[in-house]
Structure 1
Amino acid sequence: MTESRSGGTAERSPWLMLALATLGFAVNFWAWALLSPLGPLFRTQGTLGTLSESDVALLVAVPVLVGSVGRIPIGALTDRYGGRLMFPLVSAATIVPILFIGFFALSSYGALLVGGFFLGIGGTAFAVGVPFVNAWFPPERRGLAVGVFGAGMGGTAISALTTVKLYTNAGHRVPFLITAIALACYAVIAWFVLRDAPGRRPAPGGFVQRLVANAKLPISWQACILYAVAFGGYVAFSVYLPSYLKIAYGLDAADAANRMAGFVVIAVVMRPVGGWLSDRFGPVPVLAVCYAVVVAGAAVAATTPLLNHVGTVAFLAMAAALGAGSGATFALVAQVTDPARVGGVTGLVGAAGGLGGFVPPLIMGYVYGRTQSYGIGLTLLAITAALTLLLTLTIVRKTARPGIQEQRQGTTTSEEPA
């Protein structure tokens, strides 16, 4: 079946749609993370006046917070209008604050805050891609597909590796100009190539009505907790791990950054693995194993073991578990949620994951400032993961059971001869 471009549906390979959605997620996350690597430079260069650590923290946090909360309305809009429209729209809209920051805001802290606020639009791409990809794949493959899409969060690594180098060596405007061009190219490609899945049903009802209805679903609040711990833990470590390693183990900045990069790479790679395992064994067993590994890893790390031996294994095991757990969470959402509501639920869950990443660093910094120890903070992480494990094995398992039975019945039916 082939329809007009405006209709939004045409013959397309699901894997091509997945690849383009993942690319869009990565490019938008690259843009979303532009200010974070530049925070320390803004403070030391003095072009914005005298900035405190709180000023820099606010500057870095604004786009992340807006991008996290903004997933709620963007997810609902994607349910209504489809990813074929929303992906190029979000990408094009993100270009505006990028160019504003690069050409007008680099000498004014207030202007940077305004630009950072609207830069948060890029972070909402996650809530566009999950329902878009979910609709293109059958239930037994959605865990892998959504996990592969989730690996696009590695776009933040592009920003971390390139932004400061381009800013200092090629010119202050260059990283923003390059990112804007990348977004423009993707928006054009997405407009002409992306198609919504055949048979996609737009969500009925008004925005507020759908938001309230999605929030009332049991899977919504359960997945919010699961994702706040899994993806929130990943975000927290990717932000705070360099400082922790420098203070707790005396590493220099380069060594700490390299170890943090290893943590991020493993988490990104394990996200689609978590989705694939969920397709094979079910999301609940995968989530249970992931949270059990986090409990053990955090408990070991709380003792500040030798970094080159036990400590490295503990942190890398947690990276793998947090990445796989993030993928398994959305495999669970895809399994339990009506496809017409996946975008709205994804918005709520994605917001919880983004916001969850800011709680652990605040706690770790607060506790260390008063006790000169990271052990208490890591122990609290172990306790939180243990409680999440208990939630997974009880309430979440009960919620997921009807979805598992329905998926098995659908698989059996599809295997019967016509």
Structure 2
Amino acid sequence: MSTVTRPDVSAGQGLNLALATWVSAINFWAWNMIGPLSTTYAGDMELSSSEASVLVATPILVGALGRIAVGPLTDRFGGRTMFIAVTLASIIPVLAVGIAGEAGSYPLLVVFGFFLGIAGTVFAVGIPFSNHWYEPSRRGFATGVFGMGMVGTALSAFFTPRFVNWFGLLPTHVIIAAALGVTALLCVFVMRDSPAFTPNHDAVVPKLKAAAKLPVTWEMSFLYAVVFGGFVAFSNYLPTYIKTIYGFSAVDAGARTAAFALAAVLARPVGGMLADRMAPKYVVLASFAGTAVMAAVAILQPPPDLWSALTFITLALFLGVGTGGVFAWVSRRAPANSVGSVTGIVSAAGGLGGYFPPLVMGSTYDSVDNDYTIGLALLVITALIAFGYTALKLHTQEPAPKENTP
């Protein structure tokens, strides 16, 4: 077996990682355009709790499933090409959602929200892109920093309702569409793939089948579905939760959701860096334990504003650390020539993990007692199951991924 010498990739690491993180952030903002306005839509269109939940969850579903294809396409065409493609493809859905919202059409919002999910596939581009720019010992850091692009959900939660108040609904969507266009141009003129990137021209379907046969794919998919799914679910549904339970306005609920998302974003690189220095298993175990505890505290409906804020921000910190820890683990275990395929499936699982909770929260909401006990209790149980699975079934030490292709 021959050993392939890794090219020098030090020049351009920081710039390309920073740009990739921004591309992720603006696409995550676009992906989350409906969530911060869901309470406004629900009030204006007299939507039921379940109808509002479907509206929030639809972009999450498409953003999740689309990653399955986008991951291996990144292995073939490279991150730069795919970043440009995803960003450009998200512009029309953003504008269409704004038009549907302006028209007050629930069916059109759901349909166009479906295509808005394209923006959420960006995550499956950035993980292999970041991996190629950094050596294995620093990939937890690299994927953690790229994962900070999740701050787009915080930006959307905080600024989208304010933009609507300042500029109007449709102009707000035009602003984000323009930002996507400028970002795509930045990628064209500034971004480049790592010298270590080697295109994998194998057919996509066989690559996915091969990735699906790897135990690491499904083990990490389960873990990521819990931590990233929890983050996505709360980032999208928390405005509805906060307004329903505590009676805050859409703008105030958005600000508090932004604090939740920002905490998770800042915690993600911490999880990645911790996983570079210790076994990722222990980082993930701490995440699941903390998630279970804080979800149990949330069931008690801590009073606003200090105690409720501490509860959900601490929950966000544990979820963020877990997302960084899981993908650091993926980077260690996935074969180098299949990172995109494995990442596509794992990140899709994370997105799917965020699709179902809003539907569950909406369908199990107790309007008589005004609580979400059942939905939060299910999160506690899921986190405990994940903790037990990780502790008992997954090994601490994993073989390093091979850097050469067969």
Shorter-chain TM-score bucket reads 0.7 to 0.9
Q: Secondary structure at the match of 1:201?
A: coil
Gaps of 5+ in 1: 1-8, 408-418
Q: Which moved more, 1:358-367 or 1:232-241?
A: 358-367
Q: Which moved more, 1:253-262 or 1:16-25?
A: 253-262
Contact map agreement 1:106 1:112 (CA 8 A) in 2: no
Structure 1 residues 52-201: aligned runs within 5 Å:
52-102=48-98, 106-107=102-103, 108-201=105-198
Q: Does 1:317 align with 2:310?
A: no
Distance 2:296 2:34 in 1: 33
Q: Secondary structure at the match of 1:70?
A: helix
Tell me how far 1:81 sits from its aligned partner: 1.0
Q: Which of 328, 332, 352 does residue 331 from structure 1 map onto?
A: 328
User: Which of the pair has the greater relative contact order for Cα pairs under 8 Å at 6+ separation?
Assistant: 2
Contact map agreement 2:23 2:183 (CA 8 A) in 1: yes
Q: State the partner residue of 1:4.
A: none
Distance 1:70 1:62 in 2: 12
Q: Does 1:41 align with 2:40?
A: yes
Q: Secondary structure at the match of 1:358?
A: helix
Gaps of 5+ in 2: 1-7
Tell me how far 1:396 sits from its aligned partner: 2.4
Which structure would you say has the larger Rg? Answer: 1
Distance 1:244 1:43 in 2: 13
Name the amino acid aligned to 1:177: V
Distance 2:41 2:339 in 1: 39
Q: State the partner residue of 2:5.
A: none
Q: State the partner residue of 1:414.
A: none
Q: Which of 276, 294, 298 does residue 295 from structure 2 map onto?
A: 298
Q: 1:52 to 1:397 in 2, by over 3 A?
A: same
Q: 1:308 to 1:185 in 2, by over 3 A?
A: closer
Q: 1:54 to 1:296 in 2, by over 3 A?
A: closer
Instruction: Give TM-score, length-normalised by structure 1.
Output: 0.85
Q: Secondary structure at the match of 2:193?
A: coil
Structure 1 residues 141-290: aligned runs within 5 Å:
141-245=138-242, 248=245, 250-253=246-249, 256-290=253-287
Distance 1:296 1:183 in 2: 38
Tell me how far 1:104 sits from its aligned partner: 7.4
Q: State the partner residue of 2:21.
A: 22
Name the amino acid aligned to 2:330: V
Q: Residue deviations 1:218-261, cap 9 Å, x none?
A: 1111111111111111222233444445555x453365544433
Q: Percent sequence identity over matched residues?
A: 45
Name the amino acid aligned to 2:25: A
Name the amino acid aligned to 2:19: L
Q: Residue deviations 1:277-311, cap 9 Å, x none?
A: 11111211111111122232233444445666766
Contact map agreement 1:304 1:375 (CA 8 A) in 2: no
Instruction: Give TM-score, length-normalised by structure 2.
Output: 0.87
Distance 2:241 2:47 in 1: 22
Q: Which moved more, 1:278-287 or 1:199-208?
A: 199-208
Distance 2:19 2:239 in 1: 32
Tell me how far 1:269 sits from its aligned partner: 0.6
Q: Which moved more, 1:15-24 or 1:155-164?
A: 155-164
Q: State the partner residue of 1:401.
A: 398
Name the amino acid aligned to 2:389: L
Number of residue pairs aligned between Structure 1 and Structure 2: 393
Distance 1:170 1:360 in 2: 32
RMSD: 2.8
